[in-house]
Chain A
Amino acid sequence: MSDAAQYLVTGLTLGSIYALVALGFVTVFSVTGVINFAQGEFVMLGAMLAAQFVQVGAPLPLAALLAVAGAALVGALVFEVGLRPARGASELAMIIITIGASTAIRGAALLAWGTDPRPLAAFTPGPPIELAGAAVVRQSLWVLGATAAVLVALHLFFSTTAMGRALRACAVNAVAARLVGISPRHTGLAAFVLSGAVGAVAGVVLAPLSYATYDMGLMLGLKGFVGAVLGGMANPSGAVAGGLALGLLEAFGTPISSAYKDAAAFIVLILAMLLRPGGLFGRGLGRGSL
């Protein structure tokens, strides 16, 4: 019994991280129609920058804030330098641009920080909390909390602010949005800034659990993409559900066979998609174009 509780805790923690990455994918995709393969690098930047700022003496909240701002800035840069000049290009061309951007960001991180993994202290130190027989690491609670907070914040942003409404309009119908004077340049930029920030949040809360390395973005980007697709690609709540589903699949698959857990997770997901080819968690807002 306590074992099952432990797997649940592990799965939810991992799943929340995947969910945060997936939220970044969905934000960019629903507004611009671009699958951003540099999303994982935003996570890496969040983790690396936070560890770096703490190391030079910044208090954790400031370091986290700076890291999120830094990743958001890089997000803006990716859009302005890479994607905007290519507007109107095919979906695949856009994907290749984001792959190029992610390669360059990874190379820059390797040059700046080297290969050594960097630690970041847990936000609240202390022994794990005992819960229904499961040991819950305190940082896990931060991860869960951050995911919930980001989801709520995104929801409020999209529904109450003018910029959020503009983004949503773009997602629903890009042409109509343009006709009423919403600039796709501004919404695209906003979406990338936002996804950079969301990715960085994932990196900051993850770093105390599994450290920051210059190449952590690859794997996380992959898992986040899977979570986003499962959730229908254009739907924030779906993305969170998709990310959590993937995390739980991995955690509960491990005790059955840790060797085949990744394969098993994907086989289950593919079968699930075949049974529900419209996405597992409902349809999203639709997709616009850049």
Chain B
Amino acid sequence: MVVRPVRQVIFLLPALALLLAACAPAAAPSPTAAPAKPAATAAPAKPAEKPAATAAPAKPAPTAAAKAEEKPATGEPYKIGAIFDITGGGSSLGVPERDTIKMLEAEVNARGGIKGPDGKLHPVQVVLYDNQSQESQSVLVAKRLIEEDKVPVILGATQSGTTLAMVDTIQKAQVPLISAAASIRIVEPVAEHKWVFKTPQSDVLIHSVLVEYLKAKGLTRVAWMSVNNAFGDSGRDEFQKAAPAAGIQIVANERFGAEDKDMSAQLTKIRGTDANALIIWAIPPAASVATKNAADLGIKIPVFQSHGIGNQDFITLAGPAANGVVFPVGKLLVADSLADSDAQKKVLLDYTAAYQKAYGKGPTTFGGHAWDCFWIAVRAMEKAGPNPSAIRDQLEQIKDFVGITGVFNFSPQDHNGLDRRAVTMVKIVDGKWKATD
């Protein structure tokens, strides 16, 4: 234990700096700690005003309104809490979500903030934390947002596990949560998950479109392989439920790890079956490795994938092997080829352009889920102000909200609010996404 003093000092300096930073601002009490609480019962009584306010549901609904009037007074900031899986296993999904939220926060504040029910413009303050893709951390962070930061609404988390872990906390604290994770169990049964909403498409929806497509093409003998985590597991489960009804038979059912470096062994086994289609349910890089392995092994049957490959990475990584791959996904990837009459086209192109400008690369569908979470929360706060139960009631009233994932129609029975228009089949041709049917 002989350590030269110099080294001790080097180690201690950052620690000291941190401690100082942690202690100094903690003394000042939060100014927004006690928001005025409108009577919670007032909110659900007025669903009728929907058509007037939301007739033109293009993204910057508040902008148009704000510009028409003269500049309103500035109110106290509105807080929005956010929890994403920024480091750890979910980071490839969580980072674009975080980046999207940061971009939107700046965008809203650049034009003054959220116009609340009091007619004032409220700057938005996003309090964003990383849960390290850990469920126990998710719970702690949720409590932190509720108890310390006193946010009236929370966005996130990124993955189903990290979301489900905090559902109990959310329900007890009675603060609405809008999740960017897919599992249907996040919002169902709705009666027990009154405070929880989500924006991504559920697997049931994805599979209904995929199975329909397979059936139409006469691909009824399917080899299935999926990653052995919640994403792959839920995909496999729902596919096994959806396939028999459409007369589709699963002739191989293989598993691989998210970090496996080679799936040739599984594919060799599949090569020995009489399957006429191959479905790979995973995200890159594992999804790309499997696709490339299949091409290298000379597997010629058509390859299908999941909405998990909805970003440029998949194509960059798999190279020529990506060509011909077909997958069900939201419309973001094929926005520019949509008909001009498509309600989502403008929103999708705007998001793509803004993200491209801010971060120098195209957005992902995951960032799109966060985009939906953010604007849906803002939409509710415009009517409800910073009051958790009023926000919750307003969320159930949201109709015809045109988002990135789809067009949302929430209701007391449906906390996901999407229909099958939120899923389209996309084919990779010459390294580009093309809508197909």
Instruction: List the interface of chain A (C-beta within 8 A of B).
Output: 3, 6-7, 9-11, 13-14, 17, 85, 88, 107, 110, 114-117, 119, 128, 135, 137, 206, 209-211, 213-216, 218-219, 250-252, 254-255, 258-259, 262
Contacts and interface: CB of A to CB of B under 8 A. Distances in A.
Interface stretch (B258-266, B395-403, B419-427): B258-266
B265 A88 contact: no
Nearest to B89: A215
B241 interface: no
B105 interface: no
Contacts of A259: 228, 255
Nearest to B359: A114
Nearest to A247: B262
Interface string B307-345: 000000100110100000000000000000000000000
Contacts of B3: 85
Contact of A119 (B87, B269, B317): B317
Nearest to A121: B319
A252 B297 CA distance: 17
A210 B285 CA distance: 7
Given A116-B313, A211-B285, A218 B259 contact: yes
A88 B259 CA distance: 36
Secondary structure call for the A interface: helix
A120 to B, nearest CB: 10
Given A10-B265, A119-B317, 6 more contacts: A85-B7, A107-B87, A135-B296, A215-B91, A254-B265, A262-B257
Contacts of A216: 259
Contact of B261 (A14, A88, A255): A14
28 contacts: A10-B268, A11-B265, A13-B262, A85-B7, A110-B91, A115-B92, A116-B92, A117-B92, A117-B288, A135-B296, A209-B261, A210-B262, A210-B285, A210-B289, A211-B284, A211-B289, A211-B317, A214-B91, A215-B88, A216-B259, A254-B265, A254-B266, A254-B269, A255-B265, A255-B266, A258-B255, A258-B266, A258-B269
B11 to A, nearest CB: 9
A49 B295 CA distance: 27
A258 B1 contact: no
B272 interface: yes
Contacts of A117: 92, 284-285, 288, 313, 317
A260 to B, nearest CB: 9
A219 B259 contact: yes
B254 interface: yes
Given A3-B272, A88-B1, A17 B261 contact: yes
A213 B89 CA distance: 11
A107 B89 CA distance: 13
B284 to A, nearest CB: 6
B298 A135 contact: yes
Nearest to B267: A6
B437 to A, nearest CB: 30
A209 B261 CA distance: 7
A174 B261 CA distance: 38
A255 B269 contact: yes
Nearest to A252: B265
B265 A251 contact: yes
A128 B269 CA distance: 18
A114 B311 CA distance: 14
Contacts of A115: 91-92, 95
A3 B273 CA distance: 12
Contacts of B296: 128, 135, 137
Interface in B113-143: none
Interface string B69-112: 00000000000000000011101100100000000000000000
Nearest to B254: A258
B260 to A, nearest CB: 8
A258 B253 CA distance: 9
A110 B7 CA distance: 27
Interface string B275-294: 00000000011001100000
A62 B7 CA distance: 35
A6 B268 contact: yes
B297 A14 contact: no
A11 B266 CA distance: 12
Contacts of B256: 258
Contacts of B319: 119
B269 A210 contact: no
Given A6-B297, A135-B298, A211-B289, A206 B261 contact: yes
Contacts of A10: 262, 264-265, 268
Contacts of A11: 265
